Amino acid sequence: MKHNYFKPVLAVLMLASASLYAQENVDTAVFGKIRRAEMSNSHIPMIAHYITDVAGPRLTNSPGYKRAGMWAVETMKKWGMKNTAMEPWGDFGKGWEIQDFSISFKSPYSQSIIAYPEPWTGNTNGPVSGGVVILPQANAMDTAYIIKHSADFKGKFVLIAGKAPAYDADFKPSAERLSDTALANMKDTYMLSRQVLEGYLKFFKVIARVPELIKQAGALAILTSGNENRNGTVFVQGLIGYKTNTEASVVKVAISSEDGQRIKRLVESGQNVELNLNVKGKFYDADTKGYNVVGEIPGTDPKLKSQLVMLGGHMDAWASSTGATDNGAGCIVMLEAVRLLDSLGLKPKRTIRIALWGGEEQGLLGSYGYVKNHFRGTDMVLKPEAAKVSAYFNLDNGTGKIRGIFAQGNTAIKPVFEQWFKPFADLGASTVTLANTGSTDHLSFDWAGIPGFQFIQDPIDYETRTHHSNMDNYDHLKIEDLKQAAIIVASFVYQTSVRPDMMPRKPAEKGTFVFDGL
C-alpha cells in the first residue's frame, strides 16, 4: 500500500487557508460602543413618531410621503450628515390622499361599517345612497358574467363576497418569534420568478377591466369583502390606478368580512338593504416624478472614501394606516443606525449612504430606478459607480428583531457574516443562511451584481395582522426589537466601511426582475 506523505501536510495547509479566509478582524470595541449608545439614548421612539403619527399615510407621491421625506432630509442635516436630499428616480404617477370618507347602513337600520377606500379610487361627488347587489366572488373575474348581469348593477352598490370565512385561526396566536428549528431550516421566501410576475401582469390587466365594466353599467361603487378582513383588520391595497385614475374613476371600497357577510345574508333573505357612501379623495399630478430620500456620512480614508456602503428600506406605505411595520420600521432602524454612526464620530473609511425608497409597493420602483440611474442602465451595461458599492443592507419584514441574514446564495460571504454575528448571539441573532428572500429592495442591487442583503426578522404579527392593513400603526411597533435591529445594522454597516477589502460579490443577473409599473 502506497503512502501519500503529502496528504496530511496538504490537509493542514487547506485548513489553515480556510481559517484565514473565514477569520475577520471584527471591531468588537466599536460594536460595544454602538450597543451602549443605543440602549442608553435611543432616538427610535421619536423617529417612529414622526415617520408614522406626524407624517400620516405615506402613499408614494402623497403629501404624507413628502412630509416624511422632508422631515428625514432635514433631520439628517441636523445630525450633521451630508448630501441629504429627496432624489428623483424617474416617473411614477399621481399622488393621492383621502380627504373625506364615510360608509354606513341606511336600511334596515343605521350603523357604521368598518371600511376604507382603496388608494387612487374615484370620488362619489358627494354622499350617495342605494341598494346592494351581490357579485359572487367566483364570478368576479368573469367578464362575460359581468356583461350579462350589467343591468342589475345600475344605481346599486356591487358587493363582491364569497362564503363566510372560517375562524379557526382565532385559536392560534397571531404573533410569533422564530424558533431555533425554523432558523436552522430557512428556505427561500417571497421569491417570485419572472414567469410568475408576468402572470401577475396579465391578472392585473383583467382586474383593471372588471371595475370599468361595472362602472359602465351605472354602479355606485364596488365593495370588496375578503375573508382575510376579519376581527377589525381590513387589508387595503390599490396596485393599479396611480398613472391613469382620476376623480371620475370607479369608486372602490374594502370592507370588513363581518359587514360584508351581514349585507349578503340580509340581501339573500329578501331584506331591503340600502347604504350611504361618501368618498372624497384628491389626486396630485403637478409633479409625477418619484423620489427617494438619501443622505451620507462621508468616508475618511483617502483611498476608500469614494467607495460606498449602503443601507435602506422603503418609505412608501399603503393609506389605510400609517405604515409603521411596512415599512416604517425599516426606515426607523436605518435612520437610527446612521444617527448612531454619525453621533459617535466613528469615522468610517468608506462613505455610508442611506436610501429610503419610494414606489416599493408598486414593484420596487424607487430602488430599481435608483439602480438604473446609478449602477446599471436599461441597456444592461454596468456603470462605473457600480464597482464602488461594497454592499447594500435592507430591512423590510416588519417590526421583529433581527435573527440573522439571507446571504442570497453568496457562499463567500457566509463565513464573513458568521464572524460578525458572534458578538450578538446574546441578542438572538446568529443565523446566516444561503437561502434567498425576495419582494423587497435588495433585489435591485442583486440584479446589478452588487451584494444586497435582507436581514431575517421575527415575524411577530406582520403577515397576520399589520401587513397592508388598517392595523399598521405605531402601537404595533416593538420598540425594543427595533433598538436591537439598529445596533446590528449600525455594526454591520460600520464593519463593511472599515473592512480592508470590499465584500465578495456574485456575477450580475442578465435579465430584469421587477415590474416597470402597472
Question: Is the per-residue pLDDT at 248 higher than 70?
Answer: yes
* Structural domain containing residue 295: 25-93+286-498
- Asked if 469 and 228 count as a contact pair (C-beta separation under 8 A), the reply is no
- pLDDT for the residue numbered 10: 36
Shared-domain flag, residues 110 and 220:
yes
- Distance between CA atoms of residues 311 and 429, nearest Å: 19
For residues 296-311, average pLDDT: 98
**What does the block give as the cell for 68?**
416624511
User: What pLDDT score was predicted for residue 5?
Assistant: 36
Residues 47 and 103 in one domain: no
Note the pLDDT of residue 192.
67
Q: Are residues 252 and 393 in the same domain?
A: no
Least confident of 11-20, 201-210, 339-348: 11-20
| Cis peptide bond upstream of 173, omega within 30 | no
**Same domain as 264, residue 122:** yes
pLDDT at 353: 99
CB 448, CB 27: distance < 8 Å: no
Residue tagged 458572534 (cell numbers) = 422
Q: What is the CATH number of the domain that holds 367?
A: 3.40.630.10
State mean pLDDT over 37-58: 98
Of the ranges 204-213, 310-319, 349-358, 381-390, which one carries the lowest mean pLDDT score?
Answer: 204-213
387 and 335 in a common domain: yes
Is 254 domain-assigned?
Answer: yes
E strands present in 92-201: 95-107, 111-112, 115-117, 128-136, 157-161
Residue 129 lies inside a defined structural domain of this protein: yes
Q: What is the pLDDT of residue 193?
A: 54
> Which set of grid coordinates corresponds to residue 360?
416599493
User: Does the pLDDT at position 277 exceed 50?
Assistant: yes
| 380 has pLDDT over 90 | no
Same domain, 493 and 369: yes
> Does one domain contain both 371 and 414?
yes
| Structural domain includes residue 4 | no
User: pLDDT tens digits, residue range 468-505?
Assistant: 999 999 999 999 999 999 999 999 999 999 999 999 99
Instruction: Indicate which CATH number applies to the domain containing 142.
Output: 3.50.30.30
Strand segments, DSSP code E, in 171-321 are 221-224, 252-255, 274-284, 289-297, 308-314
Strand order in the sheet with 402-406: 82-91, 289-297, 351-357, 308-314, 389-394, 452-457, 402-406, 431-433
Nine cell digits for residue 449: 451584481
**155-164 pLDDT, tens per residue?**
999 999 999 9
Residue 305 domain-assigned (yes or no): yes
For residue 190, tell me if it sits in a domain: yes
**What would the mean pLDDT of 438-466 be, rounded to a whole number?**
96
Compute the average pLDDT of residues 302-308. 98
How sure is the predictor about 394, in pLDDT bands with cuts at 50, 70 and 90?
very high
Whether residue 272 is found in the same domain as residue 314? no
**Domains of the chain: total:** 2
**Statement to judge: residues 321 and 376 lie in one domain:** yes
| Dihedral sign from CA coordinates of 462, 465, 468, 471 | negative
Do residues 463 and 322 share a domain? yes
Q: Buried (b) or exposed (e) across 168-195, using 16+ Cβ within 10 A?
A: eeeeeeebbebeeebbeebeeeeeeeee
